[in-house]
Structure 1
Amino acid sequence: MSALSPAAAQQRTVFDVMDNRGALLGWEAVGRLDLPGGFCTGALIGRDLVLTAAHCVYDTETGQPRPAQGMMFRAGYHRGSEIVARRVARWVAPEAYEAIMRGGGSPTTGAAVATDVALLKLESAVSSAEADPFRVHEDSADGTRVSVVSYGRGREEVLSREPDCQMTRRYRGDILGFDCDVTFGSSGAPVFVREDGRLRILSVISSGTASGESYGPSLPRLVSELSGRLMRAESRPKVTAGAKRVIVGGGREASGARFVRP
């Protein structure tokens, strides 16, 4: 495993730091996901749905999911304030990722990276006047230009963008490789591609290496699965006394990408 030094990443890569409110125009739906003991980056893909990495909502040392209580999504966070803040009501991760964690597997394996996505349901919707959600992109070819927008360590108080990197290849298991330089706090950050003049989310940051490579899962199938699970959970009848209840929710005490090669 090769760790990525935050300082080294900032020296090698030029970031567009959005150091004033005006610079956030168009990026309001990207926010900081504050967790007990740390933070990740997330993005709205619905009025009350946030996309991030699954390892952000798991305690990756114990493999245990944590309650959604205590998680806060802060859209357009900037130096202590945000455009809108919403608490997380519940979250879901892919069943394959859950199985890896239950079985004591590592979140840094290829199988984990391929399913390292979580969908968070907010307690209440974000209005269109506050932030417009992004859509998920279906597919892209090797060499497609992408950008990553995140709250990385050392710049966690302001949103920053690496504007000029590429999707380098697609690995087995639908893992996407990028030459984007990421650091702790970039976990769950949206990887954007431009389609017909509009920004779409191609992937989320799962892991990276000291050489400036990063990885994330292909999203369409996973997001469809997670959306369906949330909808089914909300349509279930309320649990009565004597019935067994399964609670889906989680968190993690330390945030940041796991920097290994899938």
Structure 2
Amino acid sequence: MSGAVSAQDARLTRLDTGDQTRGWEAVGRLDIDGRGFCTGALIAPDLVLTAAHCLFDRATGQRIDHSKIEFRAGWRNGRAEAYRWVRRAVIDPDYTFDEIVVSTRVRNDLALLELQQPIRTTSVVPFATDSRPRTGDRVGVVSYAYDRADAPSLQEMCGVMGQQEGVLIMSCSVDFGSSGAPIFSFGPDGVRIVSVVSAKAEVRGTKVALGMQLQEPLVRLKAQLAAGDGVFLHASPDQNRVTPGGVQRDTGAKFVRP
């Protein structure tokens, strides 16, 4: 299933210069209360799309106070196009941080962050979103990661290898810090976000990225914000911990949160 797609995958390109990052400035680094970072992307002047698990403390399983999360749009070599703190945050209502089943955990692993103030600058243009890609479609990803935290990297060509139980399996290269990174389609209407990186995994020895089908959960998240949800509440301290990395029967993937 993976050979035809992954054989043509492009290498990661580090976006170090202004010319290289032009058009990608709405992808940014989410600095999470000094505990680490994820990747996020603007889909409106005041809305950032990322992975739900980025809002949880791995050690305790509790929600992180999202007011301590800062979005750094276009972060590159110590500077950003804009800096904004998060005012409200909602996660998919069906998401459970410690869900054992990989497919359930990944397909609901989506969060929407409302910024304290909109980013209104000509250099940072929010991305449109689109319906789910099909198996065999070409996609790309822009992400930060632990070994490339100071500038984003672009993989302009990877592919959708398949779909299983609401999970997209893609041949894109991701690593720790890539969580929440936007997966893009490249079509006649321009670049659009079609998924978000939830996890890296291995399927039959091939390294893959896992993401969710975007449109339906995104509609639910926007409805939550419109209803006034997203004020920080502590998660229950009684959640059972599950250590990522076990082989799950439903996808055959060795699951690791990036």
Superposed displacement of residue 128, structure 1: 4.2
- 2:201·2:210 contact (CA, 8 Å) conserved in 1? no
Cα pair distance change 1:161/1:63, threshold 3 Å: same
Q: For residues 173 and 123 of structure 2, what CA distance do their matches in structure 1 show?
A: 30
Q: Distance in 1 between matches of 2:176 and 2:93?
A: 25
Q: Secondary structure at the match of 2:40?
A: strand
- Taking the TM superposition and a 5 Å limit, the aligned residue runs for 1:180-195 are 180-195=172-187
2-side partners of 1:95 and 1:70: how far apart? 22
Aligned partner of residue 56 in structure 1, secondary structure: helix
Unaligned runs of at least 5 residues, structure 2: 1-8, 236-243, 248-252
| Structure 1 position 162, deviation (Å) | 1.1
Equivalent position of 2:146 in the other structure: 153
Q: Supply the distance in 2 between the matched residues of 1:66 and 1:249 (Cα, whole angstroms).
A: 9
Identical positions, percent: 35
- 1:170 CA displacement: 1.1
**Aligned residue number for residue 3 of structure 1:** none
Give, in angstroms, the shift of residue 67 of structure 1. 1.0
1:35 corresponding residue in structure 2: 32
Q: Equivalents in 2 of 1:25, 1:13: separation in Å?
A: 19
Alignment of 1:204-223 (within 5 A): 204-210=196-202, 211-223=206-218
Query: 2:224 matched to which residue of 1?
Result: 229
Query: Quick one: higher RCO (CA 8 Å, sep 6+), 1 or 2?
Result: 1
Report deviation, 1:136.
1.1
Equivalent in the alignment of 1:55: 53
Q: 1:141: which partner in 2?
A: 134
Pairwise CA distance, 1:19: 1.1
Amino acid at match of 2:106: V
Contact 2:29-2:144 at 8 Å conserved across structures: yes
In structure 1, the partner of 2:16 is: 19
The 2-side partners of 1:166 and 1:88 are apart by 32
1:133-175 superposed Cα distances (whole Å, 9 cap, x missing partner) = 1111112211000111001121110111112210111111x11
Q: Stretches of 4+ moved more than 6 A in 1?
A: none
Tell me the SS of whatever aligns to 1:188: coil
User: Could you tell me whether the CA contact under 8 Å between 2:42 and 2:127 is conserved in 1?
Assistant: yes
Corresponding residue SS for 1:222 = helix
Counterpart code for 1:119: L
In the superposition, the TM-score normalised over structure 2's length comes to 0.82
Q: Tell me, in whole angstroms, the C-alpha distance in 1 between the residues paired with 2:169 and 2:124.
A: 29
**Counterpart check, 1:112 vs 2:100:** no
Query: Paired residue for 1:78, among 76, 79, 82?
Result: 76
Q: 1:250/1:190 Cα in 2 relative to 1: closer, same or farther (>3 Å)?
A: farther
Separation in 2, partners of 1:248, 1:96: 18
CA distance in 1, matches of 2:16, 2:110: 28
In structure 1, the gaps of 5 or more residues are 1-11, 235-245, 252-257
**Could you tell me the TM-score, scaled by structure 1's length?**
0.81
Superimposed CA distance per residue, residues 151-208 of structure 1 (whole angstroms, 9 cap, x where no aligned partner): 1121110111112210111111x11110112100110000000121400001010011
Say which SS state the counterpart of residue 213 (structure 1) adopts: strand
Identify if the C-alpha distance between structure 1 residues 206 and 113 changes in structure 2 by more than 3 Å, giving closer, same or farther: same
Q: 1:61, CA displacement in angstroms?
A: 3.5
| Change over 3 Å in CA distance of 1:134–1:14 after alignment to 2 | same
